[in-house]
Structure 1
Amino acid sequence: MNDPGKVDKMRLAYALGFVTLLAPLLALLLAFLTKNVLLSLFLGVLNGAWTLCLVTGTIFGAASGAFLNSTDYFVATMADRWDAGILMQVLVIGALIALITRMGGMRGLATLITKIAKGPRSAQVAIWLSGWIIFFDDYANALIIGPIMRTVCDKFRISREKLAFLVDSTAAPVAGIVLVSTWIGTEIVNINTGLSIAGITDMSAFGIFIETIPYRFYNILALFFVLATGLLLREYGPMAKAEMRARTTGQTIKPGSEVATEEDYDKDPEKAELKDDHGILTTSRKVHPPNIWNAIIPIAVLIISALVLFYTNGVSYIMAGEGIGILPNGQTITAELFTQMSFFEGLTYAYSSADASIVLFQAGLLACIVAIIMGFAQRIFTVKEGIETWAHGMKSMVFVCIVLILAWSIGSVISDLGTSYFISGIFSDSIPLWIVPALIFIIAALISFATGTAYGTMAILLPLCIPLAAVIGGGVINGEAVDPLFIVLCSSAVLTGAIFGDHCSPISDTTILSSMGSGCGLMDHVQTQIGYAMTIAVISVAAYLLIGLGLPIWIVLPIGAALCVAALLILGKKMPTWDPKTEKLLE
């Protein structure tokens, strides 16, 4: 049975045509031109709401209706359980960072890493490796790694734009392909929906997920590309300008940049003071001298409690009959089936069913409590001062929360306009078979970039592309797909194409959080990263074309990696190295 809401959106998309793209295009264009993210997103929401009102009313009535409907979108976003959980998660992570910094933990951690990292090359490799440690969630990755590595980057004059790129490139690309993460449940459920629509019974959603991993070209090549830039120390485009600015002037943050949060109190432990966003003194307490354990213990509490809570939260949902996950035999996970599994067998289903936004908020809050107790026990601050620091850290995240609310609101508007259906509908289906996976990747990348949501892109395209792949790949006979590999290829194209927008769209929450965590302006991050993301996307398209022509994966992946290196060698310029000991640039 068709979803009436889905049918209405498809009809609206076809009726409005190109108009459905105006809201996201307006927001993107204004963001690039004005560098004012809040204004750009707000006007994008207003434009989309006006278009929706215009469909059912007059021009004059639409003007007032657009304003009223825009406020409805804002309120609905904050009322949504998932979105509210993300906002609380952002606030408590900001509070945790402030507490750890106040206790000298960030400086202690940075001191350890700088002892290991001897220059910008090893520093960037350390950041890349750190991104793999927080493998289970892209939000947690973006919020934890960036703040820890700021001081390291400042020491070796690595720009905040490059730090944001390193962090962002190990967030969604990692979480999207690992077997235990907050992504896997959504991916498997959408694959299963496509299999059900296609009438395929001999393939499991989880099995397809596993088989798609080597074909997730954008994920794999993004991870390789960012490592290659660090090892080769070669940059091009806006990133090269940012790196040269940082190396030659020491300005790791672009002058005049709209930085979401920048703690004034992580500079000098002897002179630092806690100030609000306007430089007003809130407390004169000194930052504690470097103490690595004041960072390791709270962060360990955050990670371990998150891993435990992901499991317990997921189990509670499964036992309540609200689990997410498809067994290899095609059955939906139930409480009865789950109790028959071993711990490790049920781990993936528990993680898939967990409410990631609430779990990370709970883990962050627990880590904050531990940090306050540690600070009080060491006489670094009183309980009152600890709570003041906690509140100050949350306050520094308010700008990010507003950006997230606006980004989610424009996402809702775009969904109601049916923009994704219009984008997928403008491509003809009368194309050669070998081009289809590459074309699906392009469609997924366009939708995810325009909407800023990987999850939404997967939910739209997988139920469409899997049946399409089954039909044009030879059909389905007695529940068996004639060409199962073609279904795997098309599924992987959706899953990895969806990562593109999540990775570099200015209205993607992961992009926003990566820039915030790294202390980089959002548009500075987007403008420096998009050239690299486009390079990886073009190489990914080439990889899908080669696979479509029949080349085996063990040949295509090395070709993709070689093209990444070639792009850096041909387009890139070798960056000088800053030696903090001699305070000189080394060519």
Structure 2
Amino acid sequence: MPNDNAMPLPSSNKLSKKIGYLLGFATLVILFIYIGQNHVQGESFGWLSILPTCVVLGIAFTTHRSAEPLVIGTVAGLIMLNPGETVPGIVKVTQAVLVDPTIAWIILVCGLMGGLIALLETGGSIFNFSRVLLNKVKSKEQTMLITFCLGILIFIDDYLNALAISTSMKLLTDKYKISREKLAYLVDSTAAPVCILVPFSTWAVFFGSLLESNGIAESGQGLAIYIDAIPYMAYGWATLAVVFLVAIRKLPDLGPMKAAELRAQAGQPKPDGVDEIDLELVQDKQTSDLMGVINFLLPMIVLVIASWLYGIDLLAGVIVAITFTIALYWLQNILSITKMFDSMFKGFKVMLVPLATVIGGFMLKNVNDQLGLTQHVIDTIVPHISPAIFPAVIFLVLTAMVFATASIWGLFAVAMPIVFPVAIAIGTPMPIIIGALLSAAAAGSHSCFFSDSTVLSAQGSGCTPIQHARTQLPYTLIGIAITAIFFLIIA
């Protein structure tokens, strides 16, 4: 008699697919071992250094996963560096990334922002704020315009923009059957692209300091030089124009976004496969609409002001905002201290998945730095560019590099000492080249599926980074094309 409890055999299709994956994986391992064994220590890997990133992109867009391809790409790069030291290499890279002050800052900011948002959700503040908007907003176009306008108003930091706006607008976008992917696009398009256009943002502060350290601006004048270049930060302006046209429905849904919107119109705004990253938590207590709005807006205002007062430091700002929100809720008896801390711990936990992706991106960056990818591309291309196309090519090359590596701060710290002397030698006006560099930073960050702003926009909106990146890509390509044409004309 047949055994009903016997484990079913896998179908031939599934078995064939698994065998195909194994053969493909084995082929890649052999290829990277061969490259590693035949590489002479001390010599450049040349264009072979881009192979791990190609593996990451290929696997990511095939499997629609984000964290796993980054790990595989990191391992592939370590095999190239030294096949016999791959496992110790993984340990060293992981430790190097986790002790990096930048990563520590990102983990704390993202985790605490997740805790603050969970606290606002559990106390009903976000629900009440969204409910007030529900009563005021009467159409899909108005919903998208409000999302667009909120993104412009919260300009101080792209992390704050990505998480706060997406979380507060989900109830409204769901009502009007706007896909979570489009919400993520609206939010992400007003994050980094807006931050580069505002001199009072984390981006402006960082890049202003780079201008000073590279001798382009005197001490204390970096921000002034940055402001002069804002009119030439074409990607920011182009993206704002494109997303505005999308918000008022003058630009149609393109490519994968069209499929996402059709799914939303059929009654499913949230895509499949995102239950494990849902940020929505159960509200513990509802207040009046007025107090609900106040209880949402006050912590946001405190967060922005505190970040500004502490030198545009979002970590200091979110610590002050959490402390303020706890006191605000306690005075109103909205939540007990125990429930408030429980909700914050849940919010921190929810951020672990996107943080894993961001950390994976930094691990890949570490390996790419060891392979010399960024240095090779810049050294090979930059010195040989014609003056007439220099700004446009710099924009396109560095956009591609940020897209492939998600390295924004590190990449430009390497690129600026090479790009600026060439620009001065061929007579390219400094505001134009700074505009090209900042446009590339924003465009690459906006396009890359594992950049921090992309991951956080997807997390807050309720879709995966790959779902967000795929649906957003046609619109980012429009912005990139407009920007490249702009730099060709003004050069």
Same fold by TM-score greater than 0.5: yes
> What is the match of residue 393 of structure 2?
439
Cα distance in 2 between the residues matched to 1:301 and 1:111: 18
CA deviations on 1:270-317 (whole Å, 9 max, x unpaired) are xxxxxxxxxxxxxxxx55366453454355334434433543x44xxx
- The answer (yes or no) to whether the contact 2:382–2:419 under 8 Å persists in 1 is no
1:106 counterpart = 2:49? no
1:117 counterpart = 2:137? yes
Q: 1:157 to 1:434 in 2, by over 3 A?
A: same
> What is the match of residue 372 of structure 1?
326
TM (norm. structure 2) is 0.85
Cα distance in 2 between the residues matched to 1:189 and 1:44: 32
> What is the match of residue 96 of structure 1?
116
Cα distance in 1 between the residues matched to 2:129 and 2:249: 26
1:235 counterpart = 2:273? no
Aligned amino acid, residue 544 of structure 1 = F
1:78 counterpart = 2:98? yes
What does 1:406-555 align with in structure 2 at a 5 Å threshold? 406-427=360-381, 429-473=383-427, 486-548=429-491
What does 1:148-167 align with in structure 2 at a 5 Å threshold? 148-167=168-187
Q: 1:545 to 1:120 in 2, by over 3 A?
A: same
Structure with greater proportional helix content = 2
Cα distance in 2 between the residues matched to 1:76 and 1:431: 35
In terms of mean alpha carbon deviation, does 112-121 or 139-148 score higher?
112-121
CA deviations on 1:541-581 (whole Å, 9 max, x unpaired) are 11111112xxxxxxxxxxxxxxxxxxxxxxxxxxxxxxxxx
**SS of residue paired to 2:273:** coil
1:192 counterpart = 2:212? yes
> What is the match of residue 555 of structure 1?
none
**SS of residue paired to 1:427:** helix
Give the total of aligned pairs: 451
1:388 counterpart = 2:342? yes
> Once the 2 structures are TM-superposed, how far is the Cα of residue 131 of structure 1 from its aligned partner?
0.7
Cα distance in 2 between the residues matched to 1:193 and 1:383: 46
- The answer (yes or no) to whether the contact 1:143–1:514 under 8 Å persists in 2 is yes
- The answer (yes or no) to whether the contact 2:184–2:458 under 8 Å persists in 1 is yes
Cα distance in 1 between the residues matched to 2:302 and 2:42: 45
Cα distance in 2 between the residues matched to 1:528 and 1:239: 5
User: What percentage of aligned pairs have identical amino acids?
Assistant: 28
> What is the match of residue 147 of structure 1?
167
Aligned amino acid, residue 46 of structure 2 = G
Aligned amino acid, residue 515 of structure 1 = A
Aligned amino acid, residue 134 of structure 1 = I
**SS of residue paired to 2:202:** coil
Cα distance in 2 between the residues matched to 1:497 and 1:14: 29
> Once the 2 structures are TM-superposed, how far is the Cα of residue 147 of structure 1 from its aligned partner?
0.4
TM (norm. structure 1) is 0.72
**SS of residue paired to 2:230:** helix
Q: 1:259 to 1:12 in 2, by over 3 A?
A: farther
Aligned amino acid, residue 168 of structure 1 = D
> Once the 2 structures are TM-superposed, how far is the Cα of residue 205 of structure 1 from its aligned partner?
4.2
CA deviations on 1:80-116 (whole Å, 9 max, x unpaired) are 2232122122112212222211222112111222233
Q: 1:116 to 1:415 in 2, by over 3 A?
A: farther
Aligned amino acid, residue 96 of structure 2 = A
Cα distance in 1 between the residues matched to 2:327 and 2:114: 17
In terms of mean alpha carbon deviation, does 430-439 or 173-182 score higher?
430-439
Cα distance in 1 between the residues matched to 2:103 and 2:393: 32
> What is the match of residue 138 of structure 1?
158
Q: CA RMSD in A?
A: 2.6
1:225 counterpart = 2:227? no
Cα distance in 2 between the residues matched to 1:253 and 1:465: 43
Cα distance in 2 between the residues matched to 1:151 and 1:444: 37
Aligned amino acid, residue 488 of structure 2 = L
1:215 counterpart = 2:236? no
> Once the 2 structures are TM-superposed, how far is the Cα of residue 253 of structure 1 from its aligned partner?
1.2
Structure 1 unmatched ranges of 5 or more: 1-10, 54-58, 267-285, 315-350, 474-484, 549-587
1:251 counterpart = 2:268? yes
> Once the 2 structures are TM-superposed, how far is the Cα of residue 13 of structure 1 from its aligned partner?
9.9
> What is the match of residue 36 of structure 1?
65
Q: 1:467 to 1:256 in 2, by over 3 A?
A: same
Cα distance in 2 between the residues matched to 1:113 and 1:405: 36
- The answer (yes or no) to whether the contact 1:294–1:374 under 8 Å persists in 2 is no
Q: 1:50 to 1:388 in 2, by over 3 A?
A: same
Aligned amino acid, residue 468 of structure 1 = V
- The answer (yes or no) to whether the contact 1:175–1:183 under 8 Å persists in 2 is yes
Cα distance in 2 between the residues matched to 1:287 and 1:44: 46
CA deviations on 1:482-537 (whole Å, 9 max, x unpaired) are xxx62322221111112111112122111111111111211000101111111110
> Once the 2 structures are TM-superposed, how far is the Cα of residue 208 of structure 1 from its aligned partner?
3.3
Cα distance in 1 between the residues matched to 2:402 and 2:288: 42
Structure 2 unmatched ranges of 5 or more: 1-39
> In structure 1, which of residues 55, 69, 72 is the aligned counterpart of residue 89 of structure 2?
69
CA deviations on 1:16-50 (whole Å, 9 max, x unpaired) are 01221122221121111112222111111111222
Q: 1:13 to 1:420 in 2, by over 3 A?
A: farther
- The answer (yes or no) to whether the contact 1:100–1:295 under 8 Å persists in 2 is no
- The answer (yes or no) to whether the contact 1:258–1:521 under 8 Å persists in 2 is no
Q: 1:121 to 1:13 in 2, by over 3 A?
A: farther
